[in-house]
Structure 1
Amino acid sequence: MASSLQLQFRLSPSTTPALLRHRPIQCATDRRALFDRIAPVYDNLNDLLSLGQHRIWKRMAVSWSGAKAGDCVLDICCGSGDLAFLLSQKVGSNGKVTGLDFSRQQLSIASSRQTSLSRPCYKNIEWVEGDALNLPFSDGSVDAITMGYGLRNVLDKRKALEEMLRVLKEGSKLSILDFSKATQPTTASIQEWMINNIVVPVASGYGLAEDYKYLSKSISEFSTGKELEKLALEVGFSTSIHYEISGGLMGNLVASR
């Protein structure tokens, strides 16, 4: 099953990744540089800023993906690997997990974590430097897809969803976790207050205040849950539902091919 994934790049667990075949990545250069820059403290910041709640949300996202033992699954915008590690536990040693990201620094940290955590099931994970808008995998080759906090950062959300639809097998699901664009004024105010008074000040302690100021803008420009549901159906998914999490501050889109 795993052989159907045409990987363009494999990350060595202990070294800077070596590119086997290059395919240009469509992304804003400054956004890619941002994720490379924050990579060393990304996990610590996630724990601090969410009070550890992001780990619960990620488990929910993996559960909604429908991944099961023996599956071949894909985590897009995998970052330092949280969702990929959870997926690995789901699919087991007979399954296959591919974590894809455009940030080489994030992939390097994910690979280092894979080595240091040293769980037997984590041997089923491959790390790929690649483009969410041009997935280097064959049609209908993936049993489930997850994406955590990545859809806001792609240049073309429709194209990203079309690519996910293309590589998913018939009847399989994608599960996309992200900040939710609040439609209620109260929730929007709370979200903005948290970013300005908690997220940015905490990030400033790591010298990353300017890097994290992009959050508010990226959320305000993001689609609402209903808009994401509609977009998924427009590109060809058979079902689509957006779940609100933590009072609407977070959301998870689940769509079936």
Structure 2
Amino acid sequence: MVTLHHCLPSITGQHRRPVFPFKQRPIRCAAAAERQELFNRIAPVYDNLNDLFSLGNHRIWKRMAVSWCGAKEGDNVLDLCCGSGDLAFLLSEKVGPHGQVTALDFSKEQLQIAASRQQVRSKPCYKNIKWVEGNAVDLPFSNSYFDAITIGYGLRNVVDRPKAIEEMYRVLKDGSKVSVLDFNKSTHSITTSIQDWVIDYVIVPVASGHGLASEYEYLKNSIKEYLTGDELEKLALEAGFSSAKHFEIGGGFMGNLVATR
């Protein structure tokens, strides 16, 4: 993990696996390994189901998250828990062809899908993304390395969230921001009831048609075990961030934490 590649090579013909320029560190925790397997299984239908379940609104929320991170032309930025690459592609448009985007995920299958999406996109800026298989609580980057960080729908699935926040703080430059997009753990009972109903009677039944009922049943518990906006702000401040603000979006069903180092 010594050499940074500025892009994945152009690929024609046969499919190639994503390039991982950093040393891969093992996922040690059993719970984390289980979640890794879960995201490997849902990878083939992940994007289509996101579009269906959010009626396409996840694309708006992701643009908001990228905007809040403050990435600009020429920056070196990180997208954690990148999945199939939506935020990474948006970040690459922000930093331009002379910037650099590192996109990290623990799911090899998701990274392969992201890399294949990169191959068919023609904008020069999309070549500035490199895909890294790695662990959000043990980032293979030096201190104060990035100008901005995004993480979309990932922190909720990290077993050791305080450690993940500390790692984001460590690899960010002073004055830089992290933008954390995820489901909102609402403190309002009506919002929570609607959220539970949608998961039980819309999301899980649709997912079951793809043989993924148990994978999406996990969603409701993961939200219940997540942190409220106030708790996320407190966690960021305890990790050392100078400021932290959580915004409720998507009618209160989604949330975005913005923290400044």
TM-score (norm 2): 0.92
Q: Following the alignment from structure 1 to structure 2, what is the Cα–Cα distance between the partners of residues 207 and 42?
A: 13
Correspondence 1:116-135 to 2 at 5 A: 116-135=120-139
| 2:176 maps to amino acid | S
Letter of the 2:150 counterpart:
T
- Say if 2:16 is the partner of 1:15: yes
1:25 equivalent in structure 2: 27
Match of 1:169 among 153, 159, 173: 173
SS of match in other structure, 1:252: strand
CA offset at residue 118 of structure 1?
2.6
Secondary structure, aligned partner of 1:68: coil
Aligned mates of 1:30, 1:11 — CA distance in 2: 29
Q: Note the C-alpha offset of 1:26.
A: 3.9
Please tell me whether residue 241 in structure 1 is matched to residue 245 in structure 2: yes
Say whether the 8 Å CA contact 2:153–2:183 is kept in structure 1: yes
Match of 2:164 among 141, 160, 163: 160
Shift of 1:25: 2.2
* Number of the residue aligned with 1:136: 140
Instruction: Report the aligned-residue RMSD.
Output: 1.9
Query: Match of 1:145?
Result: 149
SS at match of 1:213: helix
1:164-203 alignment runs, 5 A limit = 164-203=168-207
Q: Of 29, 34, 38, which residue of structure 2 is paired with 1:34?
A: 38
Pick from 71, 89, 96 the counterpart of residue 93 of structure 2: 89
| Runs of 4+ that moved beyond 4 A | 5-8, 10-13, 17-20
What is the CA-CA distance between 1:119 and the residue it aligns to?
1.9
List per-residue Cα deviations over 1:151-173 (Å, max 9, x = no partner): 01111110000000000000000
How far off its partner does 1:23 sit? 1.6
Q: C-alpha distance in 2, partners of 1:151/1:206?
A: 25
Percent of residue pairs bearing the same amino acid type = 66
Which residue of 2 is the match for residue 255 of structure 1? 259
Are the equivalent residues in 1 in contact too, given 2:19–2:131 (CA < 8 A)? Answer: no
Checking the alignment, whether the CA contact within 8 Å between 1:143 and 1:168 is kept in structure 2 is: yes
Q: Which has the higher mean CA deviation after the structures are superposed, 26-35 or 159-168?
A: 26-35
- The Cα of 1:17 is off from its aligned counterpart by 4.2
Deviation at 1:206, TM superposition (A): 1.3
Change (3 A) 1:247 1:18: closer
Match of 1:223 among 209, 224, 227: 227
**Contact (CA 8 Å) 1:7, 1:128: kept in 2 or not?**
no
Structure 1 unaligned runs (5+)? none
Amino acid aligned to 1:226: D
TM-score by length of 1: 0.94
Q: Which runs of 5+ in 2 are unaligned?
A: none
- Determine the C-alpha separation between the residues in 1 that align with 2:44 and 2:127: 23
Residue by residue over 1:83-128, the C-alpha shift from the partner in whole angstroms, topping out at 9 and shown as x without a partner, is: 0000000000110001000000000000000001232110100000
Counterpart selection for 1:43 from 38, 44, 47: 47
Distance in 2 (alpha carbons) for counterparts of 1:225 and 1:44: 28
CA contact (8 A) 2:19 2:130 kept: no
Give the match's secondary structure for 2:120: helix
The one-letter amino acid of 1:23's match is: R
Give the distance between the partners of 1:236 and 1:164, measured in 2 at CA.
10
| Aligned equivalents of 1:220, 1:240: Cα separation in 2 | 22
Which of the numbers 53, 60, 63 marks the counterpart of 1:59? 63
